[in-house]
């Protein structure tokens, strides 16, 4: 079924038509879609026919016992599916938090586990009327179109928008559990690392995180030929630190993420003179639609106060260009 371009309608597509289209496309069956939507099969068929008239092309190939998407149908489905999911998620959130204030944020899993969540109880204690929702994912979310209020990002300054707020920078340093340091071989200089298991990210050599590798650190400290006793690889920073806490080896850690463990004595920095600067920093970005909401402002103020404590703990001195954006 083809439609002349002169007969295309300019009115917005009906949400009901898109619901019917998504259901039929997912099931590839009008009967199954009608049962899911609690509509008659003829009603679903009319929705699809109306949508095809509005779009101007066929969206399905109709066969005797089945249907399949046309090329145009596939294009439309790729746009409709995430859009309906975002709408459903937003409505679900509204229903769950009706009458309550809430702040939703996105950040990567290791930062959520190692820095944000351990501090979050303090904010909840002081702000019992504000609910917090954390979306921990390594996939960057576009705040302009998502239902999230703010993002905590890990990136060099050149990758951040002008309105991003720098929370703190980063240094890389070897850390070890105190009991392994006491009971294992001596660790007083970089060459002594040859007697230990070295822990690092399994994909660090193939990704943009190359500066986190032991090889780069060893090259920097005149130990380029050093061979570790063995290697232990993980996907995430919090997994590497957990293995280090249990005495399984030495990790080249991101100082802001383990500052509390160093302060408590759960981890030890055996070679503090070998800290290495990282090109990365941690940033706060607030969605443009949410910047003036009181609960978002309260959470951002709390984040910046926590970041100030981390900067003091790690001795972070930011670049002059970012000083005004800190607090």
Domain CATH number, residue 180: 3.40.190.10
Tell me what pLDDT residue 68 has: 93
Q: Are both 114 and 260 inside the same structural domain?
A: no
pTM given for the model: 0.69
Tell me what pLDDT residue 98 has: 64
Region of poorest pLDDT, from 31-40, 104-113, 138-147, 279-288:
138-147
Residue 93 pLDDT level (bands cut at 50, 70, 90): low
Arithmetic mean of pLDDT, 31-43: 90
Residue 88 pLDDT level (bands cut at 50, 70, 90): confident
* CA-based nearest residue to 248, from 228, 265, 272: 228
Tell me what pLDDT residue 267 has: 97
Whether residue 108 contacts residue 138, with contact meaning beta carbons closer than 8 Å, is answered with yes
Q: Which residue has the higher pLDDT, 87 or 11?
A: 87
Arithmetic mean of pLDDT, 227-232: 91
Task: Name the residue range of residue 315's domain.
Answer: 100-167+280-325
The per-residue pLDDT for range 250-268, each reduced to its tens digit, is 999 999 999 999 999 999 9
Q: Are both 214 and 163 inside the same structural domain?
A: no
Q: Are both 291 and 244 inside the same structural domain?
A: no
Neighbour-count burial for 64-86, b at 16+ CB within 10 Å, e otherwise: eeebebbeebeebbeebeeebee
| Boundary-marking domain end, from 95, 118, 152 | 95
Q: Is pLDDT at 298 greater than 50 in this prediction?
A: yes
The count of structural domains within the chain is 3
Q: Is pLDDT at 19 greater than 50 in this prediction?
A: yes
Q: Are both 142 and 11 inside the same structural domain?
A: no
Residue 1 pLDDT level (bands cut at 50, 70, 90): very low
Average pLDDT, the chain: 87
The per-residue pLDDT for range 128-178, each reduced to its tens digit, is 999 999 998 877 777 777 778 999 999 999 999 999 999 999 999 999 999
- Those residues with Cβ within 8 angstroms of residue 195's Cβ, 6 or more apart along the chain or in another chain: 184, 185, 186, 187, 229
The per-residue pLDDT for range 201-219, each reduced to its tens digit, is 887 666 667 778 898 899 8
Q: Are both 152 and 56 inside the same structural domain?
A: no
Tell me what pLDDT residue 325 has: 44
Tell me what pLDDT residue 195 has: 94
d(CA 197, CA 217): 15
Q: Are both 309 and 178 inside the same structural domain?
A: no
| Residue 30: alpha-carbon gap to chain centroid | 37
Q: What is the CA radius of gyration of the chain?
A: 27
Tell me what pLDDT residue 323 has: 43
| SS3 readout for 262-327 | HHHCCCECCCHHHCEECCCEEEEEECCCCCCCHHHHHHHHHHHHHHHHHHHHHCCCCCHHHHHHCC
The H or E element spanning position 108 is: none
Q: Are both 297 and 308 inside the same structural domain?
A: yes
Tell me what pLDDT residue 249 has: 96
Q: Are both 36 and 122 inside the same structural domain?
A: no
d(CA 131, CA 147): 15
Pairing of strands 101-107, 281-286: unpaired
Q: Are both 34 and 76 inside the same structural domain?
A: yes
- Those residues with Cβ within 8 angstroms of residue 276's Cβ, 6 or more apart along the chain or in another chain: 171, 172, 173, 211, 216, 217, 220
Q: Is pLDDT at 282 greater than 80 in this prediction?
A: yes
Which two three-digit tokens encode residue 89?
Answer: 């998620």
Arithmetic mean of pLDDT, 259-279: 94
Whether residue 223 contacts residue 193, with contact meaning beta carbons closer than 8 Å, is answered with yes
Q: Are both 195 and 248 inside the same structural domain?
A: yes
CATH number at residue 27: 1.10.10.10
């Amino acid at each position: 079924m083809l439609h002349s371009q002169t007969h295309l309608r300019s009115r917005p597509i009906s949400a009901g038509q898109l619901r019917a289209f998504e259901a039929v496309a997912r099931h590839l069956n009008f009967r199954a879609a009608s049962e899911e939507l609690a509509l008659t099969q003829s009603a679903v068929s009319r929705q699809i026919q109306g949508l095809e008239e509005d779009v101007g092309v066929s969206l399905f190939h109709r066969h005797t016992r089945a249907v399949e998407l046309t090329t145009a149908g596939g294009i439309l489905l790729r746009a409709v599916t995430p859009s309906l999911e975002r709408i459903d998620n937003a409505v679900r959130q509204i229903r769950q938090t009706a009458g309550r204030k809430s702040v939703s944020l996105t950040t990567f899993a290791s930062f959520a586990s190692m820095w944000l969540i351990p501090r979050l109880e303090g904010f909840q204690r002081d702000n019992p009327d504000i609910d917090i929702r954390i979306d921990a994912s390594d996939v960057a979310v576009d705040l302009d179109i998502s239902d999230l209020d703010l993002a905590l990002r890990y990136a060099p300054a050149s990758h951040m928008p002008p309105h991003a707020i720098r929370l703190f920078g980063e240094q890389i340093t070897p850390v070890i559990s105190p009991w392994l340091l006491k009971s294992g071989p001596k660790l007083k200089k970089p060459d002594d690392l040859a007697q230990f298991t070295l822990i690092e990210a399994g994909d660090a050599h193939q990704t943009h995180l190359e500066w986190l590798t032991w090889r780069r650190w060893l090259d920097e400290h005149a130990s380029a030929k050093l061979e570790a006793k063995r290697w232990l690889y993980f996907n995430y920073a919090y997994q590497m630190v957990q293995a280090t806490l249990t005495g399984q080896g030495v990790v080249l850690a991101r100082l802001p993420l383990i500052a509390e463990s160093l302060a408590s004595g759960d981890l030890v920095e055996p070679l503090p003179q070998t800290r290495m600067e990282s090109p990365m920093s941690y940033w706060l970005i607030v969605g443009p639609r949410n910047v003036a909401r009181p609960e978002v402002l309260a959470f951002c103020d709390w984040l910046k106060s926590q970041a100030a404590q981390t900067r003091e703990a790690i001795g972070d001195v930011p670049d002059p260009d970012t000083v005004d954006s800190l607090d």
